[in-house]
Amino acid sequence: MKKRVLVLGLFVLISLVTFTQNVYQGTVLYHQNPEYPIEGVQVSLFGSDNQLVATVETDEFGGYFFDGLSDGTYTVRATTTLPGAQIAIQQAVYILMYINGLYQFDPIQFLAADVNGSGSVNFSDFMFIVVNYFVFHQPFPAGTWIFEEIEFSTGSRDGNSLGGSRIGDVEGVFVPTGRDIINEFIITERESVSPAVNDEFIVPVYANTYSDLVGGYGLVLGFDPQMIEVIEVIPFGDNAAWGILNNQIRISCFSTQLGPLEAFDGKIAEVRVKLLQPATESFFPFNVKGESQVLNSNGLIENDVEYAMPKLLANVSQNVNIATLYPNPASFNAVLSVTSGAAIYADLMLFNQIGQLVMTHTVQLSEGANEFDIPVEELQMGVYQVILRDKATRDMILSQKLIKQ
């Protein structure tokens, strides 16, 4: 009789323990889109006393699972260090439309739009994306990612999906599971210039669109600081903001009235530059980065925008047939050998690795063979650029690297 009571007691105890152990599972989705689960998110479970119970990581399907839970009320929160993608300047348009009552946000969109973390969405969020973030690359005060929270009570095995978003990605387009992103736009040549070293000149940048009603734009121009120095930027639009950061000119301009800017003639910016080193071949002074966007008066992206600008031409002297430099590397002297078809004067220049002129003098070339010594003994070891340029025409005769060992 005692054995039967003991066995029955153990059975009741085991049944009670089994009954009070609960499970909870759910998924983390980008903007609650079932086609875009987020892998690698840290999902944490907190008890009613706000104490951490457990943390798991989402799988490739965005799924997570908690088991062994006692009866009670819990809160699910998520964090991640995933990089995501850069936020496009068009996202600011949705905030402007929301402020003007033309667009409604769902809960995850509202969280994504509150880039300054104030708990509301207003004009300061719009301006932060357009100027602070896009032009000056300042991080969002609200952080990098935002996730919804879920509160549940035990008894339900399956949880609701938990939405997440990159801060600023109001539209939910920058999916962290991967997508093709344009690195640079193709540029077409429009006009050309043949500057000499230290010449200052204007580079017009064109954005050819199908409409002259432009509502805003974000333009990013990359450049080589060893070749050109940016002196002045004149962007299109009265309220344009611009800055130079990490060898990029970054410009943004928007109509805050949700309409077109002043009449757009295709010239999106003018940049005054100085040529720092001779060009050995023709090149575009800027490349247009893929995060650049032109928006129409309705705030939609203009597709198939064609960017154009002048190409900087490298002039090669027609008077010189052969020009060589030896020995290379050199320790004491290098010899410049030039065969000229005419008697001319030329500027012989030597630049260091950061584009500073370390030697210059004028040489006279006779018709036929010529040789000139270039003393390098006093120079520091490194790579130098030897330039020989026709003094009268400014045409390039030779541009070659010289290694001082």
252 shares a domain with 364: no
Query: Could you tell me which residues come within 8 angstroms of residue 128 by beta carbon, excluding any fewer than 6 positions away?
Result: 115, 116, 138, 140, 141
113 shares a domain with 79: yes
How does pLDDT run across 50-80, given as a tens digit for each residue?
999 999 999 999 999 999 999 999 999 999 9
- Boundary residue ending a domain (181, 203, 222): 181
| 9 within a domain of the structure (yes/no) | no
| 1 within a domain of the structure (yes/no) | no
Number of structural domains found in the chain: 3
| 8-17, 227-236, 338-347, range with the lowest pLDDT | 8-17
Q: Specify burial of residue 238 (Cβ count, 10 A radius: 0-12, 13-18, 19+).
A: exposed
Distance CA(335)–CA(298), nearest Å, equals 64
Determine the pLDDT at residue 321: 63
Strand-pair category, 267-275 with 187-193: unpaired
With contact defined as beta carbons under 8 Å apart, do 229 and 199 qualify?
no
- Boundary residue ending a domain (312, 346, 375): 312
pLDDT band per the 50, 70, 90 thresholds, residue 282 = confident
| 10 within a domain of the structure (yes/no) | no
256 shares a domain with 221: yes
380 shares a domain with 238: no
DSSP state of 300: P
| 91 within a domain of the structure (yes/no) | yes
How does pLDDT run across 382-403, given as a tens digit for each residue?
999 998 888 877 777 888 889 9
Region 276-284: what's the mean pLDDT? 80
| 8 within a domain of the structure (yes/no) | no
358 shares a domain with 256: no
| 7 within a domain of the structure (yes/no) | no
Determine the pLDDT at residue 176: 57
269 shares a domain with 191: yes
DSSP state of 70: P
Token readout for 217 is: 């734009």
- Whose tokens are 């032009």? That residue is 135
170 shares a domain with 42: yes
171 shares a domain with 108: yes
120 shares a domain with 58: yes
The CATH number assigned to the domain holding 360 equals: 2.60.40.10
CA 294 to chain centre: 16
Distance CA(113)–CA(135), nearest Å, equals 18
176 shares a domain with 49: yes
- Boundary residue ending a domain (155, 181, 207): 181
| 5 within a domain of the structure (yes/no) | no
- Name which residue leads in pLDDT, 67 or 355: 67
287 shares a domain with 164: no
Region 293-300: what's the mean pLDDT? 88
34 shares a domain with 166: yes
- 48: containing domain: 18-181
Buried b (16+ CB within 10 A) or exposed e, 379-389: beeeebbbbbb
| 230 within a domain of the structure (yes/no) | yes
Strand order from edge to edge, sheet including 306-312: 187-193, 306-312, 200-208, 267-275, 228-235
Q: Specify burial of residue 151 (Cβ count, 10 A radius: 0-12, 13-18, 19+).
A: exposed
The CATH number assigned to the domain holding 267 equals: 2.60.40.680
